[in-house]
Amino acid sequence: MLKSIRNLAKGSSPEDTFDTVTGLLDRSAFISNLKEIIADREIQRERIFGIANIEQFKLINHSYGNDAGDFVLQELAKRMSIELGEDACIARMGNDEFGFITTDKTADQVKKICENINMSFSDTALPWRDKKIRLHVKFGIVLIDESEHDINQILKSANEAIYSAKYDGGDTICEYDQDDTAILRRSGNLQHAITVDRWIARNLFLLYLQPIVSLANPKKLSHFEVLIRGKDNDGKIITPGKLISAAEDFNLTTKLDKWVIRNLFEWIDQHSSDMPNGVRFAVNISALSINDHELCDYIIDLVEEKNINPRQISFEITERVAISNMKRCYDFMSRLRKRGFLFALDDFGTGYCSFKYIKTLPFDIIKIDGSFIQNIDSDASNYAIVKAVTDISKAFNRKTIAECIENEKVAEIAHELGIDYGQGYLYSKPIPIDALIVKT
């Protein structure tokens, strides 16, 4: 049997041993207990270590308040204590994370318990005042081998399992397997996330621009989409596809968005007298950033600090992001539009492709996804979709941009359909932001 909570607490103050919100052990006491279990050779049964992570916990706090967040933590603590039983040791390990150890159950039994916990939340939403909170929990578990003595390796294995559960196909529970390719891939993504965090901290990302031109006069620049690039160890410029994916997986996109916005605004401030008149910049905004209630203030403060004209900046929000939380998206857009910023609905057609969003959300520009644009010269259905989007956009007085234009024929058809602007390799590949000054 595991060491009792009472014995663990002996000689320590409650604040040092227990989490004040849930009443469970805190991280330090839990790790101490885990070390004792690993060292105890008298335990003959399977030793299972697990981590439980609440999905979108930050969003729960933002949407319903910190009291609701505490309520959710307490409810999960109760369910885990009931389901795992008296012989389990359970702790709150972090903000939205719990840990547990069992010595009286098999791995299959623990996985079944984890499924039951999640099913109980799926069947019945948690009542919070006049609201209902749907809770989803992911679990990563590790069977502790008799030869395993490294606490850090056990924690690392559990984290890799839970990352795999969270991001590889939607499974609720994942048991660590050192030969599992999904877990190995997730471990690689963790290293990419560490790279993203380091590059942000050290200012190592590079700003690039891709021109967006008037289809009526392709020599006339409309504005630029702001992109980022990196450099490998040999100084070669690299597109950060895997890094962006890792940033999304590890909730670093808001941090990255803020880096882009700050560095762009600083660059504009430094080169305002060197740029062509009327040039605008389009910045991509992630789903996590839309739900960050502090981002609007961050942008507004930067505008005032750097003396930026908001009409120079448009923010691009993908269709999928826009429909995932329409109210929050509307609030975010409305506040910044009052300051003069513009908004573009990006990748239109890749989500639900509903004209409702063109009407409901205050977008100034509709960017038609490149998968529909690239072959409008040969695919009648894509041609019809692009025409419908263009006609509806014009009816609501929205400008349109055709993405991924790569040849003159597609550009000609896009112009004939009434699309206002074009973007793609036909006009230019992405260029370093400083090239804008060189060209003028």
Distance CA 20, CA 31 (A): 17
**Span 411-424, pLDDT tens digits:** 999 999 999 999 99
- Least confident window among 166-175, 228-237, 341-350: 166-175
Indicate whether 170 pLDDT > 60.
no
In the structure, what pLDDT confidence band is assigned to residue 2 with cuts at 50, 70 and 90? very low
The answer for residues whose C-beta is within 8 angstroms of residue 379's C-beta and 6 or more apart is none
pLDDT at 235: 78
pLDDT of residue 44: 57
DSSP H or E segment with residue 358:
helix 356-360
Rg for the chain (alpha carbons), in Å?
A: 26
Cα(154)–Cα(87) distance, integer angstroms: 20
Residue 193 predicted with pLDDT over 80:
no
Question: What per-residue confidence (pLDDT) applies to 315?
Answer: 97
- What SS3 class is residue 348? strand
At 397-411, the pLDDT tens digits run 999 999 999 999 999
Q: Which residue has the higher pLDDT, 339 or 130?
A: 339
Return the bridge partners of 345, or none.
Answer: 317, 366
Q: What mean pLDDT is predicted for residues 276-282?
A: 86
Q: Which residue's entry shows tokens 């003159």?
A: 408
Crossing angle for the helix pair 253-271 and 181-202, nearest 10 degrees? Answer: 30
| Contacts (Cβ under 8 Å, ≥6 apart) of 15 | none
Kindly tell me if the per-residue pLDDT of 16 is higher than 50.
Answer: no
pLDDT number for residue 396 = 92
Task: Return the pLDDT at 403.
Answer: 95
The DSSP code sequence of 220-231 is SEEEEEEEEEEE
Q: What are phi and psi of 159, to 5 degrees?
A: -65, -40
pLDDT at 99: 95
pLDDT higher at 185 or 380: 380
Average pLDDT, the chain: 85
- Whose CA is closest to 313, among 397, 213, 401, 224? 224
pLDDT digits (tens, 9 = 90+) for 28-64: 989 988 888 777 766 656 789 999 999 878 878 877 8
State yes or no: pLDDT of 11 exceeds 80.
Answer: no
Edge-to-edge order in the sheet of strand 137-144:
89-94, 97-102, 47-54, 137-144, 173-175
Pairing outcome for strands 137-144 and 431-432 = unpaired
User: Of 174 and 286, which is predicted with more confidence?
Assistant: 286
Q: Is the pTM of the predicted complex or chain greater than 0.75?
A: no
Question: Per-residue pLDDT averaged across 292-310, rounded?
Answer: 92
In this structure, of 12-26, 283-297, 307-321, the range with the lowest mean pLDDT score is 12-26
The residue length of the chain stands at 440
What pLDDT was estimated at residue 169? 45
Query: Can you tell me which residue has the tokens 């389990």?
Result: 88
The pLDDT score that the predictor gives to residue 399 is 96
d(CA 328, CA 384): 32
Check whether 147 has a pLDDT greater than 70.
no
Give the pLDDT of residue 415: 97
Position 212 scores a pLDDT of 96
Instruction: Please report the domains of the chain, with CATH numbers, ordered by start residue.
Output: 5-178 (3.30.70.270), 191-438 (3.20.20.450)
